[in-house]
Amino acid sequence: MQKNIMHIDMDAFFASVEQLDNPDLRGKPVGVGSLHKRAVLSAASYEARRFGVRSAMPVGQALKLCPELQVVTGRRHRYKEISHKVMEVLSNYSPVVEQASIDEAYIDITGTEKLFGPPRQIAESIKKEILASTGLTASVGIAPVKFLAKIASDLNKPNGISIIEPDQVQNFLKTLPVEKIPGVGKKALPKLRSFGIVYAADLRRYPREFWKERFGERGPVLYDKGAGIDPTPVTEGGAMKSSSAENTFGEDVSDIHTLKTLLLKQSERIAADIRRNGLKGRTVTLKIKFPDFRQITRSRTLDSRTSHAGTIYKTGCKLLDEELPLGPVRLIGIGISNFEERSRQLSLLDDPEKPQENKKLEQLDKAIDQARNKFGSNILTRGRLLEDE
């Protein structure tokens, strides 16, 4: 049976929610982000995009491009509330819905035609229901495989529908810029250009082994996508893959004590976040951005999974210490990922007290969570943070 994969992408989601809730913002250029000029935007309305404003752009730069830009502080709880309504709509059309992020999802609609009609009719019905439920528009892409469905949803934004039929795939790839393939970033593009690769179909000029030698395990995946092949299934649920927090400074920071204090606060936030989701992670990642916008990330995989803020913090500090001396920093952040369950055989060198120690730390964290949920987030503060009051 021919696969039909749908990708739904909400249009300028955060900014559209702000315009929905505040009529004074409608029709005006809106950016969502922190109010100080060193911060970056997490979203930009279509009115703002006409001036060249985009997400991940520093607020100061955005205001230079668009002096009339209305910068509003994001409301994560409100975005989650509306996202939940969108996912409820999608679940009415297929049991296989994969939420890729707060504002996008994949749906496998293969075989649902007898219930809801052909793919375009399903897309139109979903868009109407989302609009009725949330007051917002969405764009839809439909294709035989996931990566093409995602690309298709961006072809006719906002509020559009784009369908790539199976017999159109090869011609589509001949005119698809290779950088449009998800995963082809700024680092890979110059290398691809050096081999004369301009369009996705150009990847087939060289054999699979050629790409594996130059890009490792990603090479054959690129080769397949150049032919429109993507075996990745739509996975029901779309489990959380990572949790992170970061701060952009109004003025560059060089003091290591200040940076580590922020890392502790961030570690507290992401540890509480993954505990709420019943998760533990193994890989801690430190992110640092410098005044010239150069950015580095450093990761370390732990021996065992954790949801303990202290463990995350100490790992982040070790990664930070390894980069000293740093000089001025404009952003610092920490994250945790690699949540999958993995069996691990105990070594004879393992400390027999460690499991008991980890259990006590988990019990302490749960007690802290319960107290904060009952009395507020500021009721308990770790001693390390009190030193900075």
pLDDT digits (tens, 9 = 90+) for 313-332: 999 999 999 998 889 999 99
pLDDT digits (tens, 9 = 90+) for 7-60: 999 999 999 999 999 999 999 999 998 777 667 898 999 999 999 999 888 888
**Average pLDDT, stretch 127-147?**
97
Tell me, what's the pLDDT at 299?
92
Average pLDDT score over the chain:
86
Tell me, what's the pLDDT at 85?
95
The C-alpha atoms of residue 293 and residue 330 are separated, in whole angstroms, by: 8
Helix (H) or strand (E) holding 330: strand 329-337
Under the banding of pLDDT at 50, 70 and 90, the label for residue 276 is confident
Bridge partner list, 163:
142
Domains of the chain: 1-164 (3.30.70.270), 170-225 (1.10.150.20), 242-386 (3.30.1490.100)
Q: 29 CB contacts (<8 Å, ≥6 apart)?
A: 44, 45, 47, 48, 50, 51, 53, 66, 68, 69, 70
For this structure, is 88 an active site residue? no
pTM of the model: 0.69
Quick one: CA torsion of 20, 21, 25, 26, rounded to 10 degrees? 20
pLDDT digits (tens, 9 = 90+) for 80-130: 899 999 999 999 999 899 988 889 999 999 999 889 999 999 999 999 999
Catalytic site residue from 18, 47, 98, 104: 104
Tell me, what's the pLDDT at 343?
31
The C-alpha atoms of residue 244 and residue 164 are separated, in whole angstroms, by: 35
CA atoms within 13 A on the CB side of 282: 12
Q: What share of the chain is helix, strand, coil (3-state, %, to 5)?
A: 45, 20, 35
Torsion sign over Cα 360, 365, 368, 369: negative
Under the banding of pLDDT at 50, 70 and 90, the label for residue 354 is very low
The C-alpha atoms of residue 261 and residue 386 are separated, in whole angstroms, by: 10
The C-alpha atoms of residue 28 and residue 15 are separated, in whole angstroms, by: 10
